[in-house]
C-alpha cells in the first residue's frame, strides 16, 4: 500500500520535526505574542480558566502559557476572578480596565484568535519532512486504486510513474473520457497523512492554512504526541477550475480582521492540486504558467504581504493540469518541458466501452443485454460515425432509467428505450 512519510501521530517525522514544545523558546514565538493571544481569549470569553486558555491556544500550560499569564498579571492586565477546582489550571481569569485598553491596541494589529501559529521556519521543516516526493507506489497499488475505472494499461502505468515523480502531471484528450475522475483517483494513491498547521506567522502577520473545505482531519485516539498547533489530515486534494484567477494564487488579506488566508497551492502542500478544464480559467494559460514557472522548477513559491514584502513558502504538491484542449494551443515547449508527466487520455476502445457499459448496467440495475449494446453501437456510433466516449454509458443509461420510470416500466436495453434515451442525449451540431 502507498505510504507517506507521516502516516501516524507517532511517526518519526512528526515526533522529531513537530514535537510538542516544552518552553517558550521551542514554540518559536516570543512571550509577548503568546501573552497577546492569551489576553484576547480572556477578553472575548469574559472569564476563562487557565486550562481552557491552554487548550484553545494548543500550547502546553507549564513553561509556556503560565509564563504569559504571569506577564499579564504583573502588568495588571488580567486578574484571577475565581477558581473552578484545584491548582493553577483551574484559575479563572478576567480582564482589567487596563487590559481593555491594551486589547484594543492588539486588535488594531490583528483580530486573530485561535490556536497559536507556528513560525514560517517550522512550517517549512514539516513540509520538507512529509514531502510528496517521498511517496512510493508500485503497479499493484495503482491497479488497486484504479480498480473501479476501465483504463488502458499504458495509462495505469503512467499514473503510477507520475505519483512516484511527485511533481507535475498534464492530462489531455477529448472531453468525456474521465480525466477529472482519473486525477481524483490519485489522492488515495498518495496514502498516509500529513500535518497541517492552523496558521503560521511571518513578520508578525498571521496566515491561516487549515481549511476544512480542503483538509480532512484524521481521527486520533487520546492526546496527540505532536505539536497541537498542527492537525493530522489526509493528504489534501484541492480542485479548482474556471474560477481560478491570478489573485487567487497569492495571499488574501482581510483588511478588517487583519488576517491572511493562504492560497490554494499552500493548502495543497503535501497532496494534490488539480487545475481542471485548464485553458478555460479567467486567467490566460500563459499568465498562469508564467506565475508558476519558478515554483514548478524550484519547489518554492513567493507570496506577497500587504506591506509589499515577499515570503518564501514551500511549493510541494503533485500539480495536475487537466484539459480537453490541444497542448500546443495552450502552452509552449518550454512549459511542457517543466511538466514531468504527460498522459494522453484517449477515447475508449470498443472492448473497453463494453466493459464500462456493463459496469454501469450493474450500478444502475439495468439488465445487461449484448444485443442491446450492439444495437446502440450500430445505430448511434457506426452509422453517424460518432466517437466513443467513456462517459456515454453512464449518461445514456441514466437517461434510459429516467424514461422507464416515467412510463412505469422496467428499464431494459430495448431499441425503443435506447432510441428515446439517445434522441434526448445526442445533439448533432
> Could you tell me what percent of the chain has a pLDDT over 90?
65
What average pLDDT does range 285-302 have in this prediction?
85
Provide the pLDDT confidence category of residue 2 given band limits of 50, 70 and 90. Answer: very low
* pLDDT for position 256: 92
* pLDDT for position 192: 80
Provide the pLDDT confidence category of residue 190 given band limits of 50, 70 and 90. Answer: confident
* pLDDT for position 187: 84
* pLDDT for position 188: 84
Secondary structure, 3-state, the chain: CCECCCCCCCCHHHHHHCCCCCCHHHHCCCHHHHHHHHHHHHHHHCEEEHHHHHHHHCCCHHHHHHHHHHHHHHCCCEEEEEECCCCHHHEEEEECHHHHHHHHHHHHHCCCCCCCCEEHHHHHHHHHHCCHHHCECCHHHHHHHCCCCCCCHHHHHHHHHHHHHCCEEEEECCCCCCHHHHHHCHHHHHCCEEEEECEEEECCEEEECCCCCCCCECCCCCCCCCCCCEEEEECCEEEECCCCCCHHHCCEEECCCCEEECCHHHHCCCCEEEECCCCCCCCCHHHHHHHHHHHHHHCEEEEECCCCCEEEEECCCEEEEEECCCHHHHCCHHHHHHCCEEEECCCCCHHHHHHHHHHHHHHCCCCCCHHHHHHHHHHHHHCCCCCCCCCHHHHHHHHHHHHHHHCCCCCCCCHHHHHHHHHHHCCCC
More confident: 335 or 34: 34
* pLDDT for position 7: 38
What average pLDDT does range 230-257 have in this prediction?
89
Q: Please say if the pLDDT value at position 193 is more than 70.
A: yes
Over the chain, what is the mean pLDDT? 90
* pLDDT for position 16: 65
Domain boundaries, the chain: 30-114, 122-344, 350-425
Provide the pLDDT confidence category of residue 222 given band limits of 50, 70 and 90. Answer: confident
Provide the pLDDT confidence category of residue 341 given band limits of 50, 70 and 90. Answer: confident
Structure confidence by residue, pLDDT tens digits, 343-365: 999 999 999 999 999 999 999 99
| CB-CB neighbours of 372 under 10 Å | 20
Provide the pLDDT confidence category of residue 8 given band limits of 50, 70 and 90. Answer: very low
* pLDDT for position 337: 75
> Could you tell me what percent of the chain has a pLDDT over 70?
96
Which cell goes with 421?
434515451
CATH class of the 30-114 domain in this structure? mainly alpha
* pLDDT for position 346: 92
Provide the pLDDT confidence category of residue 297 given band limits of 50, 70 and 90. Answer: confident
Q: Please say if the pLDDT value at position 133 is more than 90.
A: no
Q: Which fold would CATH assign to domain 122-344?
A: Rossmann fold (3.40.50)
What average pLDDT does range 229-254 have in this prediction?
89
What average pLDDT does range 260-285 have in this prediction?
89
What average pLDDT does range 150-173 have in this prediction?
87
Q: How many CA atoms lie within 13 A of 166 on its CB side?
A: 21
* pLDDT for position 11: 44
Q: Are 347 and 388 in contact (CB under 8 A)?
A: yes
More confident: 246 or 101: 101
What average pLDDT does range 110-133 have in this prediction?
94
* pLDDT for position 113: 96
Q: Please say if the pLDDT value at position 12 is more than 60.
A: no
More confident: 427 or 61: 61
What average pLDDT does range 14-19 have in this prediction?
70
Q: Which of 5-14, 22-31, 248-257, 404-413 shows the lowest per-residue confidence on average (mean pLDDT)? A: 5-14
Q: Please say if the pLDDT value at position 90 is more than 50.
A: yes
Sheet holding 199-202, edge to edge: 118-119, 199-202, 205-208, 259-261, 252-254
Alpha-carbon distance values, 324 to 186, 187, 344, 395 (Å): 19, 21, 10, 19
What average pLDDT does range 163-171 have in this prediction?
85
| CB-CB neighbours of 352 under 10 Å | 15
Q: Which of 45-49, 95-99, 134-138, 241-245 shows the lowest per-residue confidence on average (mean pLDDT)? A: 241-245
Q: Please say if the pLDDT value at position 171 is more than 50.
A: yes
Q: Please say if the pLDDT value at position 1 is more than 50.
A: no
Architecture of the 350-425 domain:
Orthogonal Bundle (1.10)
* pLDDT for position 429: 47
Amino acid at each position: 500500500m502507498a505510504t507517506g512519510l507521516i502516516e501516524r501521530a507517532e511517526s518519526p517525522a512528526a515526533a522529531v520535526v513537530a514535537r510538542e514544545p516544552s518552553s517558550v523558546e521551542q514554540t518559536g514565538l516570543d512571550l509577548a505574542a503568546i501573552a497577546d493571544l492569551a489576553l484576547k481569549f480572556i477578553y472575548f470569553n469574559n472569564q476563562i480558566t487557565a486550562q481552557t486558555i491552554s487548550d484553545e491556544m494548543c500550547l502546553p500550560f507549564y513553561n509556556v502559557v503560565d509564563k504569559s499569564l504571569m506577564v499579564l498579571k504583573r502588568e495588571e492586565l488580567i486578574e484571577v476572578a475565581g477558581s473552578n477546582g484545584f491548582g493553577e489550571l483551574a484559575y479563572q481569569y478576567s480582564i482589567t480596565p487596563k487590559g481593555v485598553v491594551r486589547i484594543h491596541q492588539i486588535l488594531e494589529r490583528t483580530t486573530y484568535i485561535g490556536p497559536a501559529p507556528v513560525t514560517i521556519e517550522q512550517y517549512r521543516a514539516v513540509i520538507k519532512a512529509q514531502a510528496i516526493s517521498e511517496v512510493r507506489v508500485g503497479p499493484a497499488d495503482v491497479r488497486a486504486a484504479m480498480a473501479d475505472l476501465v483504463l488502458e494499461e499504458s495509462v495505469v502505468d503512467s499514473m503510477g510513474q507520475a505519483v512516484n515523480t511527485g511533481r507535475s502531471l498534464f492530462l489531455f484528450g477529448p472531453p468525456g473520457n474521465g480525466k477529472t475522475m482519473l486525477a481524483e483517483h490519485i489522492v488515495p494513491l498518495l496514502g498516509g497523512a500529513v500535518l497541517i498547521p492552523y496558521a503560521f506567522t511571518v513578520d508578525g502577520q498571521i496566515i491561516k492554512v487549515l481549511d476544512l473545505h480542503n483538509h480532512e482531519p484524521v481521527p486520533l485516539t487520546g492526546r496527540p504526541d505532536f505539536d497541537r498547533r498542527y492537525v493530522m489530515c489526509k493528504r489534501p486534494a484541492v480542485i479548482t477550475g474556471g474560477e481560478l484567477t491570478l489573485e487567487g494564487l497569492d495571499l488574501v488579506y482581510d483588511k478588517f480582521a487583519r488576517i491572511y488566508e493562504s492560497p490554494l497551492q499552500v493548502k495543497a502542500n503535501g497532496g494534490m492540486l488539480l487545475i481542471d478544464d485548464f485553458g478555460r480559467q479567467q486567467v490566460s494559460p500563459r499568465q498562469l504558467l508564467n506565475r508558476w514557472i519558478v515554483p514548478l522548477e524550484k519547489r518554492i513559491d513567493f507570496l506577497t504581504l500587504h506591506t509589499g514584502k515577499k515570503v518564501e513558502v514551500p511549493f510541494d504538491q503533485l500539480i495536475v493540469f487537466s484539459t480537453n484542449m490541444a497542448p500546443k494551443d495552450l502552452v509552449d515547449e518550454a512549459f511542457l518541458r517543466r511538466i514531468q508527466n504527460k498522459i494522453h487520455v484517449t477515447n475508449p476502445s470498443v472492448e473497453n466501452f463494453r466493459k464500462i457499459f456493463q459496469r454501469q448496467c450493474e450500478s444502475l440495475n439495468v439488465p445487461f443485454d449484448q444485443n442491446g449494446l450492439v444495437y446502440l453501437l450500430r445505430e448511434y456510433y457506426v452509422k453517424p460515425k460518432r466517437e466513443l466516449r467513456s462517459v456515454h454509458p453512464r449518461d445514456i443509461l441514466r437517461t434510459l432509467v429516467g424514461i422507464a420510470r416515467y412510463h412505469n416500466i422496467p428499464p431494459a436495453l430495448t431499441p425503443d428505450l435506447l432510441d428515446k434515451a439517445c434522441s434526448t442525449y445526442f445533439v448533432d451540431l
